[in-house]
Structure 1
Amino acid sequence: MPVTLGFNHVATCTADLDRLTQFYLEAFDGKVTFEMAATDDHPRMAIIDLGGGAALNVFEVAEDSIVGQRGTMGARGPIDHFGIAVDSRATLEGLRERMVAAGAEIGEIQRLGGEWSLFFRDPDGMELEVCAHSAPNDVVD
């Protein structure tokens, strides 16, 4: 049995903290739990609670300092993507509409193994995934 409880947070960088924060508040009902102004030795940042003990720690940095090509798998830097968990396919379907309204580039819901999966790109173009466990008798559309 693993000693860990799962992910606590994923840290990512953006050139526009306000825009990215607004997206996660609108699309996921996220909640900003901490904000920090930039200092001489630390960038401006926000922690966004996504529920279930998971959070995003987002740092605002100059766009030209962000490593990788966010639109290309394998070239996205140290974090290729991360998955956000939801409780059901119904929640995933409702969330898909919210993400479209909030400005995400969105894919289709698909079944990958024991998960329903929806890939999307946030306002910075970072590809992410939202997942819900599927039941063995769930039917693929």
Structure 2
Amino acid sequence: MPFTTGFNHVATLTADVDRIVKFYTDAFGAETTFEMAAKEGHPRMVILDLGGGAALNVFEVPAEEIIGDRRRQGGRGPVDHFGLAVDSLATLEATRDRLRDLGADIGEIQRLGSEWSLFFRDPDGMELEVCCHAG
């Protein structure tokens, strides 16, 4: 039986974060819960609360860095990674230990807005994330 509690967020890439934020705010009532300015090695980022515990993490990158055809199934490339939700920091720490034991390439647990977050790479090298609400 799975111990995750579902998806935490989907991350996407855009060349115009303000346009995307406005669209999701207008279309779905999404609320900005976190914003980070671009810094060396990390693009500008906005986290949108979509309700029900789901979020959309939007990263702003130059258009030429987005690979794929968004309108053609099988050709889409703007989804960057997905995050799995767990119920507590203790479960996140246990997951980190389990991933380490499996030989996964993992980062450190960090606080991002209202979430504790752990990035890792699966055996194919795909970046994924495990998160839990902080507090």
* TM-score higher than 0.5: yes
Shorter-chain TM-score bucket reads 0.5 to 0.7
| Letter of the structure 2 residue corresponding to residue 33 of structure 1 | T
Secondary structure of the residue that 1:8 maps to in structure 2? strand
Alignment of 1:1-141 (within 5 A): 1-77=1-77, 79=79
Identify which of structures 1 and 2 has the higher relative contact order when contacts are C-alpha pairs closer than 8 Å and 6+ apart.
2
Q: Greater share of strand residues, 1 or 2?
A: 2
Secondary structure of the residue that 1:21 maps to in structure 2? helix
Report how far residue 11 of structure 1 moved.
0.4
Compute the TM-score of the two structures, normalised by the length of structure 1. 0.54
Q: 1:27 to 1:73 in 2, by over 3 A?
A: same
Unaligned stretches of 5+ in structure 2?
83-135
Report how far residue 77 of structure 1 moved.
2.5
Report how far residue 5 of structure 1 moved.
0.8
Tell me how far apart the structure 1 counterparts of residues 51 and 57 of structure 2 sit (CA, whole Å): 13
Tell me how far apart the structure 2 counterparts of residues 17 and 77 of structure 1 sit (CA, whole Å): 17
Tell me how far apart the structure 1 counterparts of residues 25 and 43 of structure 2 sit (CA, whole Å): 21
Secondary structure of the residue that 2:7 maps to in structure 1? coil
What is the RMSD computed on CA atoms of the aligned residues?
Answer: 1.6
Unaligned stretches of 5+ in structure 1?
83-141
Report how far residue 2 of structure 1 moved.
2.1
The total of aligned residue pairs comes to: 80
Report how far residue 78 of structure 1 moved.
7.2
| Letter of the structure 2 residue corresponding to residue 16 of structure 1 | D
Report how far residue 4 of structure 1 moved.
1.1
Identical residues among aligned pairs (%): 64
Q: Segments of 4+ in structure 1 off by > 6 A?
A: none
Tell me how far apart the structure 2 counterparts of residues 75 and 48 of structure 1 sit (CA, whole Å): 25
Deviations 1:24-78 (A, max 9, x none): 0011100000001100111001000000110001000000100100010001127
